[in-house]
Amino acid sequence: MSPAPETGSRPGRIWRSVDRAADGLAADLGLYALSALFAWSTATGSTLTSHRAWGALAVWGYAAATLAVLVQLLLRRRPGPPSHDHSTCQAGGGRGGQDTHECQASPAILAGADRRGVVSRGWVTAGAWVSVVLVPLVAQAAARAGGMNGRAQEEVLVVEESARRLLDTGTPYLGRDGIAALPEPLLGYTPYQPGMAVFGLPRAVFGDSWWTDARIWFALVTVLVVALAARLLRDGSAARDTLLVRAVQAATVLPLCALTLATGGDDLPVLALCLLAFALAARDRFGWAGVAIGAAAAMKLLAWPVVLVLGAYALVRRSGLRYAVGAAGLPLLALIPALLVEPAAFVENVIRFPTGHGLVTSPAASPLLGYLIAQHVPGGRLVALSLLALGALAVGLWLLRRPPRDAGAAALITATGLLTAIILMPATRFGYLLYPAALALWSLPLRPPPPVDHEPMARLDGVSPEQLHDHPGRS
């Protein structure tokens, strides 16, 4: 019998064919080997102390993961027992009088082997995350608590200081006059939503220690939420689990994520909550999906485009109200205290500073298209903002004309929109690309499984192996 044709979009089919090479191990080998090379180049060439420290440790973690994949490839090439020769069974009988029941069991045996292979790849991913994220992060947090400088990026200091202000004044934001009075006004700005300050509370309450570092709590929330999202999407099939392994790798051990979490990390819990929201939506739990994405939007404005796209999908599924309670309610509740205490400070930090109207310039200056236009074209900032608005309009028209019919389509639309926005923003970072990269890979396991056609099996019910062997349509 000919295999059933694959369903889904062409990009999805292409990716699945690449990902299935050597049962996914070929892509794993390339991922870890290239990541080791990236970590080595970071350790030897970066100008940032925290990045060099990450690379010096992560290179060994990626090298160990590469070695583990090589071992898996060698074990995969070992021949299996003759009694489970699947090709012989397909031919209508076994070697040396092989029993028909053994042939019938072969697909189940092969499926079990596939699942074991996926599980072993998952364990390598988990081990890689510990060695390339957790170990470098704890080492840098301990060094920082011991008084060493340069072991954390500015956003870690900003989040922790915003938590102290939240406890002292009721708002995480410092007003314009207070920022101007600081020796380093840049560190006075908090360009996040109020919910981000929660991660700085351990240090504000318990003082300086390795475990009160905001990155420790970024990492803890990230790994728990990503694990929950993956668990929600598992359906027992090796095909779905294979896609999930790659998706989890994209949100955890990809250098774009690993380096970010070990040295700064504020984007990773936001990304993880976005992924959880999509996973909940894929399981028709739109109330909880609204809570997850609402929590992300209460921490960072970058989550708001995700709120809108998921909202469009919730409307398609006639669950807009359930979704909106958490998706809009949580960010608004987080904003109320800050707006009541000092609304001008909120405007200065969250609106004026990111748009280039603060006392100092945002350090987000990666040379992507929007930044280059803003810097080198007359009236470039206006041009870049106009292009950004056109990009947002195009995504909005896409949503109106072809609203997402499943969570995977919604994730792909979100990835496209965020990629467009990141490229065209006048002030941007390469690190933000982790959002569209992770969402694009998660869009595949988020899609519903193709319908199973039971009719061919029904037609073959009662047909003997000899009749099947002699059938002229056999492949």
For residue range 390-437, what is the model confidence (pLDDT) as tens digits? Answer: 988 998 899 889 999 999 999 999 999 999 999 988 888 888 999 999
Q: How far is CA 126 from CA 66, 292, 442, in A?
A: 13, 23, 17
Per-residue model confidence (pLDDT) at position 195: 96
Alpha-carbon distance of 145 to 148, in angstroms, equals 7
For the full predicted model, state whether its pTM sits above 0.75.
Answer: yes
Count of alpha carbons within 13 angstroms of residue 445, beta-carbon side: 31
**Count of CB atoms situated within 10 Å of the CB of 150:** 14
Give me the residue label for tokens 């990141």. 422
Instruction: Report, as ranges of residue numbers, the positions in the chain whose pLDDT lies below 70.
Output: 1-16, 18-19, 78-114, 450-475
Burial grade of 227 (CB within 10 A; 0-12, 13-18, 19 or more): middle
pLDDT at 431: 85
CA 423 centroid distance within chain: 18
Please tell me the predicted confidence (pLDDT) of residue 415.
95
Half-sphere exposure of 120 (CA within 13 A, CB side): 18
- Distance between CA 238 and CA 203 in Å, rounded? 43
